[in-house]
Structure 1
Amino acid sequence: MTSTALLALIAVGTVGGAHLLSKARWPWRMPRAGIALWQALGLAWGVATIGALVGYAVLPYGEGITGGVPAMLADGASRLDATHLAALLTGVGLAVVLLAMLAHAIVRIDRARRRHRALLALVASRSAEVPGTLVLDHPAAAAYCVPGVRSSKVVVSAGTLALLDDAELAAVLAHERAHARERHDLVLLPFASLRQVFPQIGLVGRCLDAVELLIEMAADDRARRHRPPRELATALLRFAAARPVAAPSGALAAASLDQPAVLARVRRLLEPEPAGPAARVAALTSAAVIAVTPFLLYHLPV
């Protein structure tokens, strides 16, 4: 019963932790550590919730989860009453739904990217002005990255080339290449699929928004390793004033349509407050403990 109770406590605790973290501003000081913490919370919630349900279901066997599940399968779940059987079906059902929705999100986004790459092959062109980048002949401001396993595409519009000066454009391209290099799209996938599973729960949407903002801040940090932060900040402000078009499905854009998020990024670029090494180590250690603990509890005998 101890492992099941602890798993249930972790499941509830991760929901409370996500609520607090979605409102916190300190992760802005160390976005990569904040992203790791979000990933740990999401993983721990899923593993702990499923584990608590399955652990309760196999309580009659008195061998914990890793021992109880094989014992249950061996005797055909003959010891389970209606309550324990319902818990088992709920846990297994939740696991199936989460994995199925994640697979669906991967397939859907991959198809959208394939279609968009095919479209880019028809309507986009390369320009000596921005080597390694595809240019769309469109007057609206747009700059985004289409991630890929073998090759990623960085796309800008003619409107962006007219809007930004050379330095600002270089900063925006550095930001987009950071998205492609660090595969931020893979970070977003579990949170996007979770929102599909629970579309009516506001906390899930806030979690996705928080992770999206941290990803943009992480790309900002990568970009300012190569360009002065003021260049990217002024580019973001120009984008915000020009009201950029939304990025296509599966792409990551330099400037979002969320004005408060853009202003937060600009303020952070112009007035940086980096976290100290101790804070980063504490956040990463917490993320590791949160992610690993539910798996360890699966092996407790009772």
Structure 2
Amino acid sequence: MHYTAHFGAAVLGCYLVAWVMFRSRWPANSPTIAILCWQGIGLAIGLSAIGIPISIGLAPYHQPPGTALRSLAGDLAGGRLPAQLGVGHLALISVGLGVGVVLFWSTGASLRAAAKARQRQRDLLALVARADPAAPGALVLDHPSAAAYCVPGLRPRLVISAGALSLLRRDELAAVLSHEEAHAKERHDLVLLPFTALVRALPGVSWVGRAFAAVALLVEMRADDHARRLHTDELLAAALARFATAPSHATPAGMLGAAEHDIVARVRRLRAPLHPTPAVAVLSLAAATLLAVWAGALFVS
């Protein structure tokens, strides 16, 4: 049962790190570190959700979960099971494996849904979008509302609406396109995928929804940081502020938009002085990494 305690401790550790992050200001100052922390937390939570029922069910083997699963597979193939392994143990093992199946299924379903949405968007853009020298490297969609987004993938597309084109000055437009290029180059859609899958698998768990919202905002801040290396902070902030006050068009599902996720907080962040990475950020990253490795090691031992 001590392996169950290990998984339980990993879950508790994840909640503690998440609690610190939800209540701290440093994630906005260090979005890359915060994103890595959330990835570690998500992985550790997923592995522990699988591992807790499995480790209880495999307790009669007195082995680490990974080794015990292999022993169980051998016993099932040989048609013999330990006398101590009852129906309740087998039911718990089935629950753990079922959790794993649900998580893998939700990840695959999220991938398929995103791929379909992007293909529909590409097909639409092929019909109605146009190139414009005023927006180099982007496609212009004739729509009066302000919108700028990235269609991610192996062949990403940057899209700007005619409304945004008329709203932004040339230098502001360049800053917004730099933001979208960051989404495309760094594959932020894949960064969000694990949390999209968790929301799909656990739609009623508020903590999961909060984690997804936090990561989505951090991804936008990470893209802002990419753009601010090429343009001034005030220029990017002014461009985002224009989006906040203009009639805007919702970013299509599965896409990554410049005007998404709390523009006010992002503008305030761009206009605030930069702060060095605090020690608590480094400690949080170390803890999240340790938790993910710890939970994974229990399966491969």
TM-score of the superposition, structure 1-length normalised?
A: 0.93
* Equivalent residues of 1:172, 1:254 under 8 A apart: yes
State which of 117, 130, 135 in structure 1 corresponds to 2:140. 135
Report what 1:251 is aligned to. Answer: 255
CA RMSD of aligned residues (A): 1.7
* Equivalent residues of 1:14, 1:45 under 8 A apart: yes
TM-fit CA distance, 1:277:
7.4
Aligned counterparts of 1:166 and 1:45: Cα–Cα separation in 2: 45
* Equivalent residues of 2:14, 2:41 under 8 A apart: yes
* Equivalent residues of 1:137, 1:158 under 8 A apart: yes
Per-residue CA shift, 1:141-162, capped at 9, x if unaligned? 000000112x110000110011
TM-fit CA distance, 1:168:
1.0
- Write the mapping of 1:75-90 to structure 2, written as runs, cut at 5 A: 75-76=75-76, 78-79=81-82, 80-90=85-95
- Write the mapping of 1:33-44 to structure 2, written as runs, cut at 5 A: 33-44=33-44
Write the letter of the residue equivalent to 1:241: T
Unmatched runs of 5 consecutive residues or more in structure 2: none
TM-fit CA distance, 1:75:
1.9
Report what 1:100 is aligned to. Answer: 105
> Structure 1 residues 3 and 299, CA, compared in 2 at 3 Å: closer, same or farther?
farther
TM-fit CA distance, 1:276:
3.0
* Equivalent residues of 1:41, 1:291 under 8 A apart: yes
Report what 1:266 is aligned to. Answer: 267
Report what 1:288 is aligned to. Answer: 289
Aligned counterparts of 2:66 and 2:16: Cα–Cα separation in 1: 27
* Equivalent residues of 1:172, 1:232 under 8 A apart: yes
Aligned counterparts of 2:149 and 2:273: Cα–Cα separation in 1: 24
Report what 2:187 is aligned to. Answer: 183
Aligned counterparts of 2:289 and 2:14: Cα–Cα separation in 1: 14
* Equivalent residues of 1:8, 1:52 under 8 A apart: yes
1:125 aligns with 2:130: yes
Query: What SS does structure 1 have at the residue aligned with 2:253?
Result: coil
Tell which deviates more after alignment, 49-58 or 188-197.
49-58
TM-fit CA distance, 1:280:
5.4
Aligned counterparts of 1:205 and 1:243: Cα–Cα separation in 2: 27
Write the letter of the residue equivalent to 1:85: L
Tell which deviates more after alignment, 9-18 or 232-241.
9-18
- Write the mapping of 1:143-158 to structure 2, written as runs, cut at 5 A: 143-149=148-154, 151-158=155-162
State which of 218, 221, 241 in structure 2 corresponds to 1:214. 218
TM-fit CA distance, 1:55:
1.3
Unmatched runs of 5 consecutive residues or more in structure 1: none
* Equivalent residues of 2:13, 2:291 under 8 A apart: no
Write the letter of the residue equivalent to 1:267: R
Report what 2:175 is aligned to. Answer: 171
* Equivalent residues of 2:66, 2:298 under 8 A apart: no
* Equivalent residues of 1:8, 1:49 under 8 A apart: no
TM-fit CA distance, 1:94:
0.2
Aligned counterparts of 1:279 and 1:75: Cα–Cα separation in 2: 47
Per-residue CA shift, 1:120-150, capped at 9, x if unaligned? 011000011111110011110000000112x
Per-residue CA shift, 1:180-218, capped at 9, x if unaligned? 111100011110111111111211111111000100000
Tell which deviates more after alignment, 216-225 or 2-11.
2-11
Report what 2:236 is aligned to. Answer: 232
TM-score of the superposition, structure 2-length normalised?
A: 0.93
Tell which deviates more after alignment, 4-13 or 24-33.
4-13
Write the letter of the residue equivalent to 2:283: A
Report what 1:61 is aligned to. Answer: 61
TM-fit CA distance, 1:299:
5.2
TM-fit CA distance, 1:61:
1.1
Q: Identity percentage over the alignment?
A: 44
Tell which deviates more after alignment, 35-44 or 1-10.
1-10
